[in-house]
Amino acid sequence: MRNFSGKTLFGLVLAVVIAGGAIAQDSDIQEIEDSVIKIYTTQAAPDYFVPWRLLNPRQSSGSGVLIDANRILTNAHVIADASYVQAQKHNDPQRFQARVLFVSHEADLALIEVEDEDFYAGLKPLTIGDLPDLRDEVSVLGYPMGGQSLSITKGVLSRVEHQVYSHASSYLLAGQLDAAINPGNSGGPVIVDRQIVGIVMQANTAGRSENLGYFIPPSVIRHVLRDSEDGIHDGFPDLGFRTQTLESPAAKSARGLSEDQRGVIVIQVFDDSPAAGILEVNDVITEVNGFAIADDGSIQLDSDILTNYKYAMDQFHVGDAIPLRYSRQGKEHEAMLVAGGERENYSLVNGEQFDEIPEYYLYGGVLFVPLNMNLIKRWGNDWSRSAPIALLEARNEWASPERQELVVALQVMAADVNLGYHDWRNWVVETVNDEPIRDFDHFVAMLRENTSPFVVFRNDNGYQMVIDHEEALASEEQILARYRIPSAHSSGLLNEQYLSRQP
């Protein structure tokens, strides 16, 4: 019989332990891999330059992760404007048709479901964990470009703070990591200890950094999952006020604050909002839900993390009462603001919409559309430089009850009725026959109810476009046929009230 020394025996035991640990680790990894899903979509977004047609369909793919018996969590931008969605399991060539259950474009998250129960055989859902500590190592799983199989990369959580989510330009908490993130990774899970601690959403696109990516943290994921319980998207609360930082000693003194008092100054309170009648311009918000606000608008989440005070409101849902403290002329006050439901944009330029039919109205051969970010972004990836200045500047204007939306004369379909204006395009219409425009529905109603022989469109510089009303009505069918336009207005634009008033 062979004798083993104590040292040799220890080495054998250690080897067995390591081997056993490796087998268990491989098993854990395999279970995680099987829960990561590849998603295929056919997307056809509307063409906001020619709003009655779609852009060319394109095929794309992303990633997702099973979070319960039959729901797959992914990015909203993976399935936005999708007409066909399929899901594919790890190491399985078969694709299964899927349907969208719930979408939060604001948080860039979506839930999809495969109706065929065979798809879920052998899959185990992953649970949502907690945000890891800074400098913790994380694993990123997904199906990036360059291959068909699952990719696993590792990185370190390097930063946690509010970021602009590129999909819908919302401003929410995000984690930054140094793992490689490429197209196709979107919607894949960030994993620590077999738990989901984030959903990959975007890579750094500034061109100045490499291997920097961002993920949606657990707090945002949990908010959306709770929001989805009734199938109705309520979104994150907006209390209806806007602020700016208060880092100027002079500004602080002018508001009656001492040097050691901190907060942000209210610069706008919107009518019919939760803050209306409670907050006033020049109030200083000093605390929200127990979080003290610094002069730069930040709050301290823990010893390592500072982020925007919006985080304190983002944790609430529609109907919740949000406590805050504010100073008015040096006197402290407390208030409870009840979070309302989803509202229209407080800006004159509505945010980007998805899975929507663009609105338009053709009158006298002139194509009129509401101004929104979909239209502005139609100028391409460099839209912030290439879009018309007047449209870009409008993003900085607040909406009001009298002026809630802007109308753009986008282009002119050349015809006798609009002779003299054939080269006019991309100008904002302020009035119709000297009446200010409230919103796009109001604009359309003014045209359909017009009794004047001429309609005069005017912009804020005084330029006028004059259209003969009877000629505009008489030439409509001819213009539609000449330019192969299916309808003079977008589907659903004219409600029953307007239709009942047609001549």
Residues serving a catalytic function are: 77, 108, 186
Q: What is the dihedral of CA 173, 179, 184, 190, to 10 degrees?
A: -60
Q: What is each CA distance from 477 to 470, 472, 492, in whole angstroms? A: 13, 10, 19
Burial 143-167 (b: 16+ CB within 10 A, else e): bbeeeeebbebebebebbebbebeb
Helix (H) or strand (E) holding 178: none
Q: What is the SS3 assignment for 482?
A: helix
Q: Supply the DSSP string of 272-285, one letter for each residue.
A: TSTTTTT--TT-EE
Give the separation between CA 172 and CA 309, rounded to whole angstroms: 10
Residue with tokens 């490796």: 22
> Which of 147, 221, 218, 215 is CA-nearest to residue 184?
147
HSE of 26, CA atoms in CB hemisphere, 13 A: 6
Give the separation between CA 436 and CA 207, rounded to whole angstroms: 44
Residue with tokens 């959403």: 201
Q: What is each CA distance from 145 to 44, 60, 162, in whole angstroms? A: 21, 10, 28
Give the separation between CA 296 and CA 264, rounded to whole angstroms: 7
Q: What is each CA distance from 43 to 78, 177, 380, in whole angstroms? A: 9, 29, 17
Give the separation between CA 161 and CA 166, rounded to whole angstroms: 15
Q: Supply the DSSP string of 3-25, one letter for each residue.
A: ---HHHHHHHHHHHHHHHHHHHH
Q: What are phi and psi for residue 468, nearest 5 degrees?
A: -70, 120
Give the separation between CA 473 and CA 486, rounded to whole angstroms: 16
Residue with tokens 């949000």: 322
